[in-house]
Structure 1
Amino acid sequence: MALFMCADCARNAGGSSGAQATRPCQGHWAVVLTPTMKSVIKAIVFLIMGFTVIFYGGALLLPGVARVERSIDIAAPPEKIYAIAADLRRWPEWSAWLEADPRTRFSFEGAEQGAGQVMRWTSGNPMVGSGTMTVTDALPHVRVSTRSDYAGFGTSTAAMDFAPQGQGTRVTWRFESQLPGVIDRWAGLGMDRTVGADYDAALRNLRTLAERP
């Protein structure tokens, strides 16, 4: 427990009995901690310091870039799949985002298809949020590259490749995002699971759409 005594008594506590040390006087009151309480406070301080060192020091050892890659085989030619993926106006038809919020609002500007096309989205669901996606490069029937700017959450880039495989196409979708901050780097540990799940779902939707007669 803590012993409450005046400042003078606190300074002289070493030479006084417990009863005398805690006797009220007219001085200014102070708090004297018992050895047990001092040990507890020191332990708490060391725990906080240790957590801080691990949190910030550990972040320096984590990757500064998050990368996710998913692939799927689609029984359709590259040109058919490219026509869907390179047109952001068709994004709502296969994006996994609509599964999180079907009320997401989209608007489009720029090119009709391919490089220069811009899509803006707005959602009240924090898992979807708001932002813009821009087609930065498009090589017909081979690759579509995009940049996504998330309101308040930075920027990421992605590329979707279409490789002929037998009578169909192997579609590979890659995601990359810089992780400049400490919290960003810790959050990056879950990117493959969270972003990867969305990519898997979207690719399955794309396959269903592309394989329709």
Structure 2
Amino acid sequence: MGGSAMKVLKGLAVGLVGLVVVLAGIGFLLPATAHVERSVVTTAAPGTVFPLLNNLHEFNRWSPWSDLDPNMTTHFEGPDAGVGAKMSWAGNGAVGTGSQQIIESVPNQRVVTSLAFGGYDHPSTATFTLTPEGKGTRVVWTYDTSMGYDIVSRYFGLMLDRWVGNDYSRGLSVLARLAESQAGAPAPETATAPP
């Protein structure tokens, strides 16, 4: 190999190392947490919506992911509803594997679940907040996760809202329709992202 080819290879190697260092440096400056939030207003009362969230056996009736793998398996542990109720799932590449467990339950107001996803070690929670609005309920679904010092996850965190937000909107719309059908109420508004 000639001297000029070696210079080019050496320049490429130095450039590649420099790029990795710059991307790692930027990664450390990115947020260490990610947040996704969507909401819907339903004409159903909080007392009608709450059991659909507080009982994990109801989750697949409105989950935006249940249609992605009709062969997904689920396993339940603990009580049927409330704190300690746990659901684990295993499915195709679209739904993966994981579990969620209710860690907080305030009747007709809030349900918080701890989430664990296969291959993702960072703590995550999903929170459902119910607020009376008119004769109905505003349901806010949030997802929060901490990526710690994982630079790759921090880059993924930038895209999380775009990747998961539409699923949350779709799930909330189905949840609202389900609650309204149980209450005999009219159809819901469309789910929205925060302003």
- The aligned residue for residue 173 of structure 1 is 141
**Shift in Å, 1:46:** 2.5
Extract unaligned runs of 5+ from structure 2.
185-195
The partner residue of 2:65 within 78, 97, 108 is 97
Choose between structure 1 and 2 for higher RCO, CA contacts under 8 A separated by at least 6 residues.
Answer: 2
Output the amino acid matched with 1:201.
R
1:1-213 equivalences in 2 (<5 Å): 2=1, 33-34=2-3, 36-123=4-91, 125-154=92-121, 155-180=123-148, 181-212=150-181, 213=184
Q: 1:51 to 1:143 in 2, by over 3 A?
A: same
- The aligned residue for residue 22 of structure 1 is none
TM-score (norm 1): 0.81
**Shift in Å, 1:205:** 1.0
Structure 1 moving runs of 4+ over 2 Å = none
Q: Distance in 1 between matches of 2:19 and 2:43?
A: 51
Output the amino acid matched with 2:31.
P
**Shift in Å, 1:38:** 3.1
Q: Distance in 2 between matches of 1:175 and 1:184?
A: 15
> Number of residues paired by the alignment?
180
**What is the CA deviation profile of residues 36-60 of structure 1, one whole-angstrom value per residue up to 9, with x for unaligned ones?**
2133123202320221112211101
Extract unaligned runs of 5+ from structure 1.
3-32
**Shift in Å, 1:146:** 0.3
**Shift in Å, 1:127:** 2.6
Give the secondary-structure state (helix, strand or coil) at the position aligned to 1:211.
helix
Q: Distance in 1 between matches of 2:22 and 2:64?
A: 36
Q: Distance in 1 between matches of 2:22 and 2:177?
A: 46
**Shift in Å, 1:69:** 0.8
- The aligned residue for residue 193 of structure 2 is none
The structure with the largest alpha-carbon Rg is 1
Give the secondary-structure state (helix, strand or coil) at the position aligned to 1:136.
strand
Give the secondary-structure state (helix, strand or coil) at the position aligned to 1:51.
helix
